[in-house]
Amino acid sequence: MQRITFWFVPPLLLVAILLMPICSCAELTQTEVSESLICYACPGEPLNIDRCGGGDRMRADITRLLNQGKSKPEILDYFVAQFGDSILTTVPKKGFNLVAYTGPFIALLVGIPLALLIIRRWGSAGRRQAVERGATEPTVTLDEQTRLKIEKELADLDEEG
């Protein structure tokens, strides 16, 4: 019982704490839309950060469109029609832009097999060394006292490290 309490109470407490502040925010806000847009007057500056007059006009447009019941994609389309793709903070997933989206995952697709290959090479070298060791070193069975002594010495070594 004590073990169950030990292992399950902390995660339950963690979950309880996590749940406390959470509630869903279904209504689309101006900030959520402006996060995806760049201020047309200040190139490179996201609209949710920008504070210039041009940005104010864009924010007023967003509020107006939200009041008309437009969805986020519809509002973004409205701005893209006026200013082109460069008004978006999200790079559109088309043409050359796909390089930005796929690049990291292609790197991963190359990196993981490469890592597997390296481990395999380590493995074969390790096995070779083990065979060589096995041929020269006798197998020893340890009693409990010796095992504890070795553990202590390894711990001491770790402390020094």
Partner 1 sequence: MISFGTYSLIAALFFTLLSMGLFLSGLARNNVRLVQAGKRGLLSAAIATTLASVALAWLFLTDNFSVEYVASYSDRALPLFYKITAFWAGQKGSLLFWAWVLSVFIALVIFNNRREADDRNTPYIYLVLAGTLAFFLFLLCAISSPFETLGFMPRDGQGLNPMLQNPGMVFHPPILFFGYIGFTIPFAYAVAAMITGNTGADWIRKTRVWNVLPWIFLSIGIILGGQWAYVELGWGGYWAWDPVENASFIPWLVSTAFIHTAIIQERRGVMKVWNMVLIQLTFLLCIFGTYLVRSGILQSVHDFGATGLGGYFLVFMIVALIGGIYLLAESYNEFKTPGSVESYLSRESTFLFNNVILLALAFATLLGTVFPIISEAVTGNKLTVGQPFFNQVNTPLFLLLVLLTGICPLIGWRKASVSNLRRNFLRPALTALLAGVIMAISGIRELYPLLAFTLSAFVGATIVQEYITAIRSRKKLTGEASAAAAVKLLWKMRRRYGGHIVHFGLAIMVIGIAASSAYKLESQGTLRQGESLSIGKYELKYEKFRKYDKFNRTIYAAQLGVFVDGKRIDEMEAERRYYINAKQPTTEVALRSTLIEDLYVTMPGIGRGNEITLKVAVNPLLIWVWLGSTLMVIGGILAIIPARRKAACSE
Cα separation of 129 and 144, whole Å?
28
Report how far Cα 85 is from the mean position of its chain's Cα atoms: 26
Cα separation of 21 and 6, whole Å?
25
Tell which positions 62-101 bind partner 1, by CB under 8 A.
84-86, 88-91, 95-97, 99-101
Which of 140/157 has CB closer to partner 1? Answer: 157
β-partners of residue 46 are: 38
Q: Tell me the per-residue interface mask from 141 to 160 with partner 1, x by CB under 8 A, - otherwise.
A: -------x--xx--x--xxx
> Site for partner 1 (CB under 8 A): which residue of 25, 81, 131, 135?
25
Closest approach, Cβ 10 to partner 1, in A, equals: 7
For residue 124, give the DSSP letter: H
Cα separation of 75 and 61, whole Å?
9
Q: What is the dihedral of CA 87, 92, 95, 98, to 10 degrees?
A: 130
Which of 143/159 has CB closer to partner 1? Answer: 159
Tell which positions 113-142 bind partner 1, by CB under 8 A.
114-116, 118-123, 125-130
Cα separation of 38 and 55, whole Å?
9
Closest approach, Cβ 22 to partner 1, in A, equals: 5
Closest approach, Cβ 15 to partner 1, in A, equals: 5
> Site for partner 1 (CB under 8 A): which residue of 45, 61, 70, 83?
45
Which of 69/97 has CB closer to partner 1? Answer: 97
